[in-house]
Chain A
Amino acid sequence: MPTHAYVPHAPGYVDNDGPKIITKRFPLEDSYTLERSEATGGYAGLRAALDRTPAEVHTEVRDATLLGRGGAGFPAGIKWGFLPPGKFPYYLVVNGDESEPGTYKDRLLMERDPHQVIEGCLITCYALGLAQCFLYVRGEMALAQERIARALNDAYAAGYVGRNILGTDFSVDITLSWGAGAYIVGEETALIESLEGNRGMPRLKPPFFPAAIGLYGQPTIVNNIETMSNLPWLMTNGAEQYKTYGSETSPGTRLFAVSGHVRRPGVYEVEQGVTTFRELFYGDNFCQGIREGHELKMFIPGGGSAPWFFPEQLDFPLEARPVGAGGSMLGSGAIVVMDETTDAVKAALRLVRFYARESCGKCTPCREGTTWEERILQRIVDGEGRPSDIDLLLDVADNISPGPYPVAAHPDAGLDAIPFPPRQTTICPLGPSSVAPITSTIRRFRHEYEAKITRRNSIAVSAGSVEVAS
């Protein structure tokens, strides 16, 4: 087995020396087949679960402090405990609608090891007495859909899914469903709307916490693909063993996709909490440094929705709590690295444009605000910015996310970090996410904004325009 290497049949994944909890089959070319899965311990976790009571399985997951891998990082075992007793049926919705800019780990998990995902779903349904599981895959991921469809068909035929699983009294169906191109459907209540056949617009929480009122109004557990993928290993090896990896508050490993201006971008399985951003970017096992002849300017630590970090934050561990206190979030494990050649305003515009395009339109501050933000940034980048535009941007942002917005410390300027999360005037975090690139770059690179705006003015003056005088 090669080490420290790209795996040709899993482009993006880098096989390194670290512990492998969820990527152990990735180096095998036929990892997605039932034969290979069974030959390498597939469905052993399900068998181990079925040998115990559902309550014991739930306890094991709670004891492991398995943190949800979708972005919010809430412990799965605790979330599972929110199902109200006696309101049957309960459903499981597995979120494979991965679309956060910079993120891709769920796609690889679905393409490379669909049986591991299915096994995790079965363990969850067994532990909680769930009536049916829905596996919601992003519409654009045709190969992932194909691999899961084949895996499900094989698993049904082999008796792992469906009626009387492995000859026991445990029976559950898994329905594969896929989306059709809408980032917002990654938000759990929007995903539920989509599964009900509606436009993917988020529901207000409270009262619509899925565990209380979810799919068809029934209590529903929504978990991420990566969370599910951890369960087979956890059932086979136990919570104590799981907690030997990572840190006390963030045990286990996580997949981090590091992209942008590094020498070896890749998806790495990394021990949480004990590895730092610096090790990840510069370590020989990982990205091996910023690309030749360049230096780090800034990085996004947790997907497009996360406030940006800078060289001063390199020594933060890959752990939710310190990153949150430091003004950002680990989110979905997507890290985008930018070197000194990057135009901060242009990069911010591209992300803001994403949120403007993807806003579902339900809440006014987001629908109108993201569009304003995009237009203002666009005219600044186009050299048509006005001196008042920086304040205007911050004002529009404040309508979506009132008060101080989370941001990293800026020691040279004597500015402290403002911790995550932001406040919001919207139902879901999409609108507030559009503010992250704006406040991150204005606080740090205000001079870049001013330079673009001033340049515009000087051009106007030389052309004899009177507009500047006003």
Chain B
Amino acid sequence: MSRFSLDNESIAREIISRYPRPKSALIPLLHLAQEQDGWVTIDAMRHIAELTGTTPAEVMGTGSFYEMFKFHPVGRYVINICSNITCQLMGAESLLEHAEAKLGVKVGGTTADGLFTLEDVECIAACTEAPALQVNYRYRLRVTAEDFDQLVDDIRSGTARDIPEHGTLSLVRQSIPADRGAGIVPPEQAREVSVWMARNDAAEQN
């Protein structure tokens, strides 16, 4: 188990259909695998390879480049504290130390109950609201030590409802209705100039 469920396999096929070449779907499918299991399993990578006509090694080769993909179990809530320049200026170092003490793990570690993984990450594009963090990629801004404690307590008590479990990113999926798509084909099947470009010639002739 850890191959895609039937539902996810059909989502995977729909994702692949939105790219001119199946291999382009590798990153979205790795995200889908992580959404299903919380991390990327070997079986999921095998399944992705089957669906995209690639090899499991290619899937891992691509996936291992990107730090959001976890190839081992992580906490259900991954807390990413930004420590890049502005957050550093605004107190990220002491926030990180506080987080380590509160959770009882060092950066990179996962709590014994499997609930939290703590990471020290690069700029998360919230610099004016430093120090900033993300939990499963949901923002918390201008975070104080008290805010952090509250956040951890809220997650433990199940009241931080805006945060899905690790692996889930967008809660909305793109979907192109069958009768609305312009038609996505491999490049070698799209050699004709786009029809509306004939408007340029028509205008020149007038």
Given A12-B129, A336-B85, is A130 in contact with B194 using a C-beta cutoff of 8 Å? yes
- Pick the contact of B125: A141, A169, A336 (CB < 8 A): A141
**Chain A contacts of B197 at CB under 8 A?**
54, 129
Inter-chain CA distance A401–B173, complex, in Å, is 43
Inter-chain CA distance A348–B99, complex, in Å, is 24
Partner-binding segment picked from A98-106, A226-234, A274-282, A445-453: A98-106
Partner-binding segment picked from A19-27, A179-187, A237-245, A366-374: A179-187
Q: Is A338 an interface residue (CB 8 A)?
A: yes
Q: A102 and B127: CB pair below 8 A?
A: yes
**Chain A contacts of B65 at CB under 8 A?**
182, 199-200, 360
**Chain B contacts of A338 at CB under 8 A?**
89
- Pick the contact of B196: A11, A129, A177, A199 (CB < 8 A): A129
Closest A residue to B52 using CB positions: A197
- Pick the contact of A53: B175, B177, B186, B203 (CB < 8 A): B203
Given A101-B123, A200-B65, A216-B21, is A53 in contact with B200 using a C-beta cutoff of 8 Å? yes
**Chain A contacts of B184 at CB under 8 A?**
132, 173, 175
Q: A162 and B180: CB pair below 8 A?
A: yes
Q: A199 and B61: CB pair below 8 A?
A: yes
Inter-chain CA distance A326–B174, complex, in Å, is 45
**Chain A contacts of B46 at CB under 8 A?**
none
Q: Is B28 an interface residue (CB 8 A)?
A: yes
Closest A residue to B128 using CB positions: A265
Inter-chain CA distance A207–B139, complex, in Å, is 40
- Pick the contact of B31: A55, A172, A180 (CB < 8 A): A180
Given A180-B69, A182-B67, A354-B84, is A138 in contact with B28 using a C-beta cutoff of 8 Å? no
List residues of A (38-79) whose CB comes within 8 Å of B's CBs: 53-56
- Pick the contact of A103: B80, B125, B200 (CB < 8 A): B125
**Chain B contacts of A257 at CB under 8 A?**
127-128
Kindly supply a per-residue 1/0 record for chain B positions 137-156, scoring 1 wherever the CB is within 8 Å of any chain A CB and 0 otherwise: 11101000000000000000
**Chain B contacts of A183 at CB under 8 A?**
122
Interface size class of B (residues with CB under 8 A): 35 or more
Q: A195 and B191: CB pair below 8 A?
A: no
**Chain B contacts of A152 at CB under 8 A?**
174
Closest B residue to A130 using CB positions: B194
**Chain B contacts of A346 at CB under 8 A?**
88
Q: B187 and A216: CB pair below 8 A?
A: yes
**Chain A contacts of B137 at CB under 8 A?**
139-142
Q: B170 and A181: CB pair below 8 A?
A: no
Q: A173 and B181: CB pair below 8 A?
A: yes
List residues of A (251-272) whose CB comes within 8 Å of B's CBs: 257-261, 265-267
- Pick the contact of A180: B66, B86, B181, B195 (CB < 8 A): B66
Q: B90 and A173: CB pair below 8 A?
A: no
Minimal beta-carbon separation of B148 from chain A (angstroms): 18
Q: Is A131 an interface residue (CB 8 A)?
A: yes
Kindly supply a per-residue 1/0 record for chain A positions 336-351, scoring 1 wherever the CB is within 8 Å of any chain B CB and 0 otherwise: 1010001000110011
Given A89-B191, A180-B69, is A101 in contact with B85 using a C-beta cutoff of 8 Å? yes
Q: Is A107 an interface residue (CB 8 A)?
A: yes
Q: Is A386 an interface residue (CB 8 A)?
A: no
Most buried by A among B86, B124, B134, B180: B86
Q: How many residues of chain A get a CB closer than 8 Å to chain B's CBs?
A: 87
**Chain B contacts of A347 at CB under 8 A?**
85, 88-89
Q: B128 and A131: CB pair below 8 A?
A: no
Q: Is B95 an interface residue (CB 8 A)?
A: no
Minimal beta-carbon separation of B76 from chain A (angstroms): 16
Q: B192 and A88: CB pair below 8 A?
A: yes
Q: B190 and A150: CB pair below 8 A?
A: no
Kindly supply a per-residue 1/0 record for chain B positions 4-30, scoring 1 wherever the CB is within 8 Å of any chain A CB and 0 otherwise: 000000000000001111011111101
Q: B123 and A163: CB pair below 8 A?
A: no
Q: Is A30 an interface residue (CB 8 A)?
A: no
**Chain A contacts of B194 at CB under 8 A?**
88, 129-131, 172
Minimal beta-carbon separation of A148 from chain B (angstroms): 8
Q: B125 and A157: CB pair below 8 A?
A: no
Q: B176 and A172: CB pair below 8 A?
A: no
Q: Is A405 an interface residue (CB 8 A)?
A: no
Inter-chain CA distance A181–B70, complex, in Å, is 11
Q: B172 and A153: CB pair below 8 A?
A: yes
Minimal beta-carbon separation of A89 from chain B (angstroms): 4
Q: A140 and B195: CB pair below 8 A?
A: no
Q: Is B169 an interface residue (CB 8 A)?
A: yes
Q: Is A80 an interface residue (CB 8 A)?
A: no
Closest B residue to A334 using CB positions: B127
Q: Is A358 an interface residue (CB 8 A)?
A: yes
Q: Is A420 an interface residue (CB 8 A)?
A: no
**Chain B contacts of A99 at CB under 8 A?**
122-123, 125
Q: Is A309 an interface residue (CB 8 A)?
A: no
Closest 4 CB pairs of A and B: A180-B66, A104-B125, A259-B127, A145-B170
20 residue pairs bridging A and B, Cβ less than 8 Å apart: A88-B190, A88-B192, A98-B125, A101-B86, A101-B123, A139-B137, A140-B124, A140-B125, A142-B169, A143-B138, A145-B170, A150-B172, A169-B199, A173-B181, A180-B67, A217-B187, A259-B130, A260-B89, A265-B127, A304-B123
Seed contacts A11-B126, A265-B130; 14 additional CB < 8 Å A-B pairs? A11-B139, A88-B190, A102-B85, A102-B86, A141-B137, A163-B183, A179-B66, A180-B66, A181-B68, A182-B65, A216-B187, A259-B86, A259-B128, A354-B84
Q: Which residues of B contact A (CB under 8 A)?
A: 18-21, 23-28, 30-31, 52, 54, 61-63, 65-69, 80, 83-86, 88-90, 122-130, 134, 136-139, 141, 169-177, 179-184, 186-187, 190-197, 199-200, 202-203
